[in-house]
Amino acid sequence: MHKRTFSWTTEDGIKIHACEWAAATPKAVVAIAHGLGEHIERYDHMARWFNARGFAVIGYDRRGHGQSGGKRGHSPGVGPLLDEIAQLLVEARTAYQDLPVFLYGHSQGGGLVLSYTLHRNPKVSGVIASAPWIQLSFTPPAALVAVGKLMRKIYPGFLQGNNLKTRLLSRDDKVVQAYEADPLVHDRISAAVGIGMMQEGDWLMQQKGGFPVPLLIAHGEADGVTSSEASETFAAQLEGDVTFKGWAGLYHEIHNEPEKEAHFQYVEQWLSARIV
């Protein structure tokens, strides 16, 4: 396994930090979009697990996150976030021209890879959405939503707290403690991003029929952050090679739960069955 960092600059001048975990003899590439408020280095253990089994891994810090530039928690809208995923795929195909590429998104990243695939129909071999932000497991305070909608019109960069209860991330106390102590983690979300993601989730729930590529949606059934019920309903509305995998008793970050090995193994089997 060889790990390297690199970067690219968006059209609006934001420097994006990225990482590649190169496998010795890769059979496919997994491109990762992380969740709200976190960063790609939190997936190091997962990348190394897949590296050991022949998968190269590439990922990035979303604008306003981790070591990337930009106002914390802000994007002018959902569109630039989808553009970042497009560039991630460019980087993956440049590094691994002849290999299958799979998109993997968690939480906000999960919602974004679903939206990206439906809006832009990319040439990827499959999509994995882990606990995707389609709908939240809780109802955000009405006053905060109202302020967000108003400020989105007059000051899209207006920041609020994301109201994340960190104890809902994982049943592993060490994971929660590490998250809370991580200087690259933040709890900011702008009006443009918050309202934009909620509207995009509503749009996703209206989609029916064929999904353009093989799709796996994995969700902890005890997730108190994003709704596993919404994920299951969304998957049931689709046609084609679509799989919903519910994990009984697991919290939001399946890849950081005590049972993470079982999740990794399930994803590996799903990926391997779709490598052609």
Pairing verdict, β 188-190 and 159-161: antiparallel
44 tagged catalytic: no
DSSP string, 22-68: E-SS-SEEEEEE--TT--GGGGHHHHHHHHTTTEEEEEEPPTTSTTS
252 tagged catalytic: yes
Identify the active-site residue in 39, 106, 252, 255.
252
255 tagged catalytic: no
Say if CB 252 and CB 169 are below 8 A apart: yes
Identify the active-site residue in 170, 223, 255, 263.
223
**Residue 178 burial by Cβ neighbours in a 10 Å radius (0-12, 13-18, 19+):** middle
Identify the active-site residue in 17, 34, 75, 107.
107
Could you tell me the end-to-end alpha-carbon distance of the chain, in angstroms, rounded to an integer?
23
Which stretches of 46-172 are assigned E, i.e. beta strand?
55-60, 101-106, 126-130, 159-161
Q: What residues contact residue 220 under an 8 Å CB cut-off, 6+ apart? A: 131, 228, 246, 247, 249, 250, 251, 252, 254, 257
CA angle 202, 206, 208 (to 5 degrees): 145
Say if CB 121 and CB 99 are below 8 A apart: no
Say if CB 21 and CB 51 are below 8 A apart: yes
Active site residues: 107, 223, 252
